[in-house]
Amino acid sequence: MSGGMLYGGDEIGALVFDPGHHSLRVGYAQEDTPKAEIPAVVGVAPDESPKLEPEAKPEEGNISSHPTTYKYYIDTTYLHSPRPNMEVHNYMKDGMIENWDMFEKIMDYSYEKIIQSESQFHPVLFSESPWNQRQKREKLTEIMFEKYKVPAFFLVKNAALAAFANGRATALVIDSGATHTTAVPVLDGYVISNAVVKSPLGGDYLVLRARELLESMGIDLTPAALIASKEVVREKDKPRYVKKS
């Protein structure tokens, strides 16, 4: 869709957000491809940076004067760097936004690092799954208007967008994502919700089965980033290495 269809002007700079369980696609409505694809997970680790000593001693009974604070790691470069005690959380569940705090971290990163512009200057188009719940739609709308102050906001089914992108207002859209595969009928631009067929088989399941197959064949899949050192071995011998502690 063009920016003119969204907000009455060809040069308005409307943004498109396409969230999924594997990644979030972000870009401008006038462009053919997303500006960035951000993993839909956030790394959370304790903040071990040095802290200033308090001026006054804590009162008796207070266990710690320094409550634990956390740092958040977003995007591929930061997530693929091993960090002690880091946990990875996905803000999506069953194709819908579940963890709103993590989602807002992703949105803050998108505006600051990807778009590099103030949110109030850009109308927004957001895609959603055909079975998205009303309270989640209302929550997302509230966040976009109240926190990000967007001038206009449009929420539309991703299957309808896929049909329009291929020049069709009526189509059967087959969508195979990370966690599920769906068949969604679209009639004159509207999704027929009660006819949606959904399967829990997706890319994550296929990757898991492929991993099990390779491991059953004796193939070591330890990532290179977790190897501290390795030894030279003969061809077809099992690898010998030391993992990072």
User: Collapsing DSSP states into helix, strand and coil, what is residue 112?
Assistant: helix
Q: How does the average pLDDT of the chain come out, rounded?
A: 84
| pTM, entire model | 0.77
- pLDDT(49) > 90: no
- pLDDT(8) > 60: no
User: Collapsing DSSP states into helix, strand and coil, what is residue 230?
Assistant: strand
Q: What is the pLDDT of residues 55-86, one digit of tens each?
A: 444 444 444 445 578 889 998 888 888 788 88
Q: Which residue has the tokens 């690898």?
A: 239
- pLDDT(54) > 50: no
What are the angstrom distances between the C-alpha of 21 and each of 145, 177, 179? 24, 8, 7
Residues of the chain with pLDDT > 90, as a percent, come to 52
- CA nearest neighbour of 223 among 115, 105, 79: 79
Query: How far is Cα 1 from Cα 30, in angstroms, rounded to an integer?
Result: 8
Q: Which domains does the chain carry?
A: 1-40+91-166 (3.30.420.40), 43-87 (no CATH)
